[in-house]
Structure 1
């Protein structure tokens, strides 16, 4: 087996998954409402993501199976197996259908800001009221997945991640962030009044449960281990995966911090309040010029399109794995799953559902569901792997820390939600 040594690999799919319109909106609201005070939550998020994604990748590399297949094998008792598996299916497949509407809507906002003055597109919108961008972006996502080649999907997502990195970081540099305030927010953790749900949402938009299914399956496909694979080749694959995670996940965190910084520079401490990303783009023009607006729009387009590819892909990996189907991107059930999710997303985007409310609810729900997925992964890492590759004591400690923090944040968000009823 030849070990790929590229700096970018399956972890790039994770970055493409969590840097979507949900991240752009959630991070923008955090920056606009609380300035740089919640940057520490993003740093915790990248730490938690790296801990969990390392486990997911190791599980996929060693077993040659995704997280769904390993959960199916781990949970043998029907009273535990089917309720949990059905809950995971509902959370991943149904949840990603809601995410997809936001992904495509967000990408359409970026595309419209960049190319909306084209005469044909303007006349189409005025004539039928149909979101042409939603149809076009849904078609692009479907074409990338239809060919069923992992290498093609990975390369497309690497390009999109690099593109949105340049766009969002470029926007941050143009808005000239307050560096001392940024450093204080990063290394002096505090939760301003009313910011608990924002903290949960920031963590939920970064530590995405479906990314665990995505990463485990993608790592298994990129670094597939046969029965004759030696411990040496497995260790080489694990080291290549660790390098991949160490590059791609922190890059995603830097993008999130750039978005917070941009919104803080444009809105924090000003009388105007932020309600949507389009408003953020409009506010950047008089303050920082057209270049900042164009960079933000380009980043939003790349973020939405990358997530519009990874959300259906992750749901297909999760569903086919839990049902015991092989990791085959051309398998009928696999294709049907991602196709249904893309169609749902295009429909939601085309009928004009406001993406802000849909994405915000989905991100908070994501943070609440995270402890369950964390627990399942920890069980798999301790009971589904041969002894040399099981979690060490410190890996279990780190995993439990992430689990406990996610439980505390989820409890706080549930208490506040019930208090508002």
Structure 2
């Protein structure tokens, strides 16, 4: 275990792996810099929020806006609220128990169930890595016309550089990820302002829940999978499990308030970016059909043709930044999963090399990237219940959570989210079987 950090300096500590949270504080009652200390408590949700604006989100939102206009606005908004609750529960579990969700599953679930949960968690981690690495490489290709193999190499180098920040301490890693998140926000915001042509009636109509067949069902599942990401659920509990050292129930309730603030701020930003991407795509393709074109490439080209090179550049930069930042976060999440379930770990750099291999193959094979990214997010949607059900069960147990045990209303809300995701997955399967 790493040595704790005095809250009065809030200096970071290098950690050996992602399973040990990215920094610890020794004294919760800081005698110096009260607001510095409180600001230092914020950060985990912003790291996790990066996973909510990864290239998988870009692909699903752009594809949804291009093919259905504003029809799925309600899915983006609902998924973001559900994710906010889920991530709050995950952060609370780490704070209350000092263990992350993967560790709790290993200790409390039967051995066969624990291994099943680990297997599916690794599968969804692979799907996540595919989306993140492929999106970043595509961003470089759009930015510089860089050949895909070379873009893969550059992406790998930059991803390793971000991971190196983690080895030097929590705050450097968090600040690096936050900077990339802000770059995504700036890129999407700039494009929204330059494109304009947003339909107020379309947005209002899109808030009415409605699905219109197999295509919209697949896109809705992809949006949910890209938002309530299973690996992010495991990661958030790890980021809070030993971030602050305290045994006092009063201090834990104090910290819990900041977890709520952290979650609301971080995931509100992520939700706004996702909604912005869908609206941007709906405006771009309002008078044209996407057809068989790759949605991300078509959106980039349309921005350059109809608005200007600056808008296209902002879009490509946002895509690259989302891929690089989320790839680093995803690698940490994969390490948390492996160490929590198996009590084994491999070096982060080795894991990054292993997980980028499938993305390199797909990119070099010329398989349509946006369609591949959307499919990967559908896979994530089916993995959500495997992480979410144990999370809700654990956070309602007083013997685990103590003073931070869920209230009945919170547990009920978590159960509703579980039910909605399971029903959506079942609806998608039935729709695909019928072929509507």
TM over 0.5: yes
Kept in 1, the 8 Å contact 2:66–2:290? The answer is: no
CA shift at 1:92, angstroms? 2.5
Kept in 2, the 8 Å contact 1:165–1:299? The answer is: yes
In the other structure, the counterpart of 1:230 is 248
Instruction: Evaluate the alpha carbon distance shift between residue 265 and residue 376 of structure 1 in structure 2; reply closer, same or farther with a 3 A threshold.
Output: same
In the other structure, the counterpart of 1:380 is 394
Instruction: Evaluate the alpha carbon distance shift between residue 158 and residue 32 of structure 1 in structure 2; reply closer, same or farther with a 3 A threshold.
Output: same
CA shift at 1:301, angstroms? 0.7
2:157 to 127, 139, 155: 139
1:158 to 143, 166, 178: 178
In the other structure, the counterpart of 2:21 is none
CA RMSD, Structure 1 to Structure 2 (Å): 2.3
Instruction: Evaluate the alpha carbon distance shift between residue 191 and residue 416 of structure 1 in structure 2; reply closer, same or farther with a 3 A threshold.
Output: closer
In the other structure, the counterpart of 1:361 is 375
Instruction: Evaluate the alpha carbon distance shift between residue 272 and residue 213 of structure 1 in structure 2; reply closer, same or farther with a 3 A threshold.
Output: closer
Kept in 2, the 8 Å contact 1:98–1:345? The answer is: no
Instruction: Give the TM-score, by structure 2 length.
Output: 0.84
1:60 to 89, 94, 98: 94
SS at 2:99's partner residue? coil
Instruction: Give the TM-score, by structure 1 length.
Output: 0.87
In the other structure, the counterpart of 2:226 is 205
Name the CA distance, whole Å, in 1 between partners of 2:366 and 2:176. Answer: 28
Kept in 2, the 8 Å contact 1:104–1:304? The answer is: yes
Kept in 2, the 8 Å contact 1:317–1:334? The answer is: no
Kept in 2, the 8 Å contact 1:7–1:247? The answer is: no
Name the CA distance, whole Å, in 2 between partners of 1:33 and 1:271. Answer: 8
2:74 to 25, 35, 40: 40
SS at 2:188's partner residue? helix
CA shift at 1:369, angstroms? 1.9
Name the CA distance, whole Å, in 2 between partners of 1:296 and 1:6. Answer: 31
Equivalent residue pairs, number? 397
1:16-415 alignment runs, 5 A limit: 16-75=50-109, 77=110, 81-82=111-112, 84-116=113-145, 125=147, 131-146=149-164, 148=167, 149-194=169-214, 195-221=216-242, 223-226=243-246, 229-273=247-291, 274-324=293-343, 332=346, 336-346=350-360, 348-383=362-397, 385-415=400-430
Q: Of the two structures, which has the highest relative contact order with CA contacts closer than 8 Å and spacing of 6 or more?
A: 1
CA shift at 1:170, angstroms? 1.4
Instruction: Evaluate the alpha carbon distance shift between residue 310 and residue 350 of structure 1 in structure 2; reply closer, same or farther with a 3 A threshold.
Output: farther
Cα deviation code 1:362-416 (max 9, x no counterpart): 2112112212221111111123623311111110111011011111101011123
Name the CA distance, whole Å, in 2 between partners of 1:188 and 1:354. Answer: 31
Name the CA distance, whole Å, in 1 between partners of 2:288 and 2:366. Answer: 30
Name the CA distance, whole Å, in 2 between partners of 1:297 and 1:217. Answer: 32
SS at 1:385's partner residue? helix
CA shift at 1:151, angstroms? 2.6
Cα deviation code 1:163-193 (max 9, x no counterpart): 1011012111211142413531453222234
Unaligned regions of 5+ residues in structure 1, if any? 326-330
